[in-house]
Amino acid sequence: MYHVRQIIHVIVFLIIVTISFNTTYNPFSMESSTTFMQTAKPNNALYKEIEKQAKAYEEEPIDPYIDDVWKKTPGRNGLEVDVTKSYERMREKGEFDDALLVYKQIAPKVSLEDLPSSPIYRGNPEKEMVSLLINVSWGTEYVPQILAILKDKNIKATFFIEGKWAKENVDLVKMIKNQNHLIGNHAYNHPNMANLTTQQMVEQISQTNDILKAITGITPAWFAPPSGSYNQYVVDAAHSQKMETVLWTVDTIDWKNPTVSVMINRVNSKLHPGATILMHPTAATAAGLDELIDSVKDKGYKLGTMEQLVSPER
């Protein structure tokens, strides 16, 4: 009898353990079935409908390329529908709704760095973003005011700073850096770069890089030739130092001291997706920057640094 009772106790214990295990770990129990459905591919009409419709909403990535006119042109990420996440968003509604589609970005196969040496004038022509390029080689009085406006508007610009100016205005360079604007190279003493020897080109760029790195701790990756004067040797000199040469598509001509309305109308008449807007720390820019930013935003454009503009991110 004693052995019989032991056997019964063992059988009862095994039954209890089995029931407990099935309740806790059975993937088909009520508690775990929800998790299972979230990770498994649902076999229902809605999921299949999303799979069927997905292709119509997807876009192929665009590789960067060299344009005959606009030279090195950034690429753009493609879009692919995330079917599983889209299903999760639509499941409660129970029917297909393209407003609830979830996308993931697909990077181009080629990067901007893979292209040969060539200047950059603009962002991708389908990117709804523009960039403010502020070339700094003279003047100090309007820089703090311009920085204050940019900070108030939560806008980041790209400041191309001359090496000589930087040496004489270290505090202003630090102020620009501390507000997280992108800092580029504008040569050492504003020469006509196209008239220099290759060695002089390299020295103008490298000397300025050394000065800016000493002040900010960062070596610039962007070069804006003074007055936009360049040739292929200039671009190659910058490229040899792992830098991109940047020009512009929209000029405020703020150095001629236009009225605010004239300057803004000039920009608006030429504004386009991927635009680069050239400015300087002048009285005209200080007076009109606030309104100019609002005008650009009203047209549906985001504003970002040169780095953000040429990124393939949508």
pLDDT digits (tens, 9 = 90+) for 180-212: 999 999 999 999 999 999 999 999 999 999 999
Give the Cβ contact number of residue 203 at 10 Å: 15
Q: Which residues pair with 208 in a beta bridge?
A: none
The pLDDT assigned to 225 comes to 98
66-124 pLDDT per residue, tens: 999 999 999 999 999 999 999 999 999 999 999 999 999 999 999 999 999 999 999 99
The CA angle 246-238-180, to the nearest 5 degrees, is 55
Which distant-in-sequence residues (6+ apart) come within 8 Å of 83 by Cβ? 47, 50, 51, 54
* Cα 245 to Cα 58, 78, 152, 222, 225, distances in angstroms: 33, 26, 29, 6, 7
Low-confidence ranges of the chain (pLDDT < 70): 1-43
The pLDDT assigned to 39 comes to 46
d(CA 145, CA 229): 29
The pLDDT assigned to 5 comes to 52
The pLDDT assigned to 311 comes to 98
Question: How much is the pTM?
Answer: 0.83
CB 291 within 8 A of CB 144: no
18 φ/ψ angles, rounded to the nearest 5 degrees: -65, -45
The pLDDT assigned to 7 comes to 47
